[in-house]
A = this chain, B = another copy of it.
Amino acid sequence: MDLLAEKFRKLGTDNAPGQEVRQATGHNSLALKGDTLAGTPVDFSHGDVDAFTPIPGAFDVFSEGVQRGGVQAYTEYRGSLEVRQNLAKKLADFTGAAIAGDEDLIITSGTQGALFLAAAATIARGTKVAIVQPDYFANRKLVDFFEGELVPVPMNYLDTDHGAGIDLNALEDAFKTGTKVFIFSNPNNPAGVVYSHMEIHSIAQLAAKYSVTVIVDQLYSRLLYEGQDYTHLRALDTGNANIITIIGPSKTESMSGYRVGIAFGSPEIISRMEKLQAIVSLRAAGYNQAVLKTWFAEPEGWMAERTQKHQAIRDAILAVLRQVDGLRVRTPQAGSYLFPELPKLSLSGPEFVRALRLQAGVTVTPGTEFSPHSESSIRFNFSQDHQNAVQAAERTVAMIERYRE
């Protein structure tokens, strides 16, 4: 079992968002100072679907799915053809390139399911896989689980105010030296930055030149703040057929409780993903697939209002955080993540995260989940009640001052 023990050691979830409840409290081992700070607890580890509720009508469409019975319960492993065709049209419009809907699209158990299946379909033992630092924590874990070889590519998001700041020379070096797969999120999770047209264009050209398969997680690509543009990798015609785009309604649209996501692109990879889904979970829950019909078909103005509200929370929290001397933070261009780098504290990053939860009722995710080089950063998902979130940011600032070295 040694191989397995090592494999599962790397999959540690103790600091993963939402798992804090499983941590031993371990007050004693922490060098805590001062008293607890009063205030409504806020869990910034994920969005609050009570503050921002699911797409209107989603539940009704789910109910219709249940009433439809067997047809909706037992779909093909890749999902209901009717729903896939509905999605194909909407996602082709959104991303700017055609989708057939049958051979080139699969409905998965959330976008996490899509990422898992896409990684499994492309990463064998020893496959070199480029990942961005920092980026979504599961990317690294997926490479480890499938025994691929991680090739990290830095993203210097704090040193620019345009684009994501990916080191394109490092990316080309990685591709030149045998990297076969590149996985990244755009907008970036955790930094909330959007890759510029130039960056996406370069990624597409390099991937085509070196025959690299690209898996791009576009989970937050609809929640773009004022004046922000977005380039869909798949819409650039570079002749690289090996692109998989992943997206889903779990975040911006608050449909996480339904666990449905989508992957589309290369039919060969989608076909492998379906074969694997057959033994992973058979299919995304049949009834739940129906709610995808409400996605990209929201009431007029609903997305615009949601975006404005998130932008207001973003700006209010940034105003609070920027009072802190030595704190560095980039203004997110999209999505609902904020990823400040804190000044030097007397506690380690993960220790401060625990202190923050225990003393201030503020749950955030430690930067080490996203990159080994992000020890002094913390991630907020600011899709929360506005007032509670701002007050929790103020308590966070008080805690930073308390533990400043």
Q: Which residues of A contact B (CB under 8 A)?
A: 1, 3-4, 7-8, 11-13, 16, 18-19, 21-22, 46, 48-50, 53, 59, 62-63, 65-66, 69-70, 72-74, 76-77, 81, 108-110, 112-113, 115-116, 121-125, 138, 141-142, 145, 180, 256-259, 272, 274-276, 278-288
Contacts and interface: CB of A to CB of B under 8 A. Distances in A.
Q: Across chains A and B, which 10 residue pairs bring their CB atoms closest together, nearest first?
A: A73-B257, A259-B285, A109-B281, A11-B275, A3-B124, A257-B286, A257-B287, A50-B69, A113-B281, A4-B124
Contacts of A3: 124-125
A375 to B, nearest CB: 22
Contacts of A53: 69
A19 B279 contact: no
B112 A256 contact: no
Q: Tell me the number of copies of this protein.
A: 2
Nearest to A71: B50
Contacts of A113: 280-281
A49 B287 CA distance: 12
A138 B280 CA distance: 9
Given A259-B285, A279-B142, A109 B112 contact: no
Most chain B CB within a 10 A radius of its CB, from A50, A62, A145, A259? A259
A116 B272 contact: no
Contacts of A121: 4, 8
Contact of A276 (B1, B62, B145): B145
A15 to B, nearest CB: 11
Contacts of A74: 18, 46, 49, 256-257
Contacts of A63: 59, 63
Contacts of A16: 77, 278
A72 B110 contact: no
A257 to B, nearest CB: 3
19 contacts: A3-B124, A4-B121, A11-B276, A18-B77, A19-B76, A21-B81, A50-B70, A59-B66, A62-B66, A63-B63, A109-B281, A109-B285, A112-B280, A125-B125, A141-B279, A257-B286, A259-B283, A280-B281, A285-B285
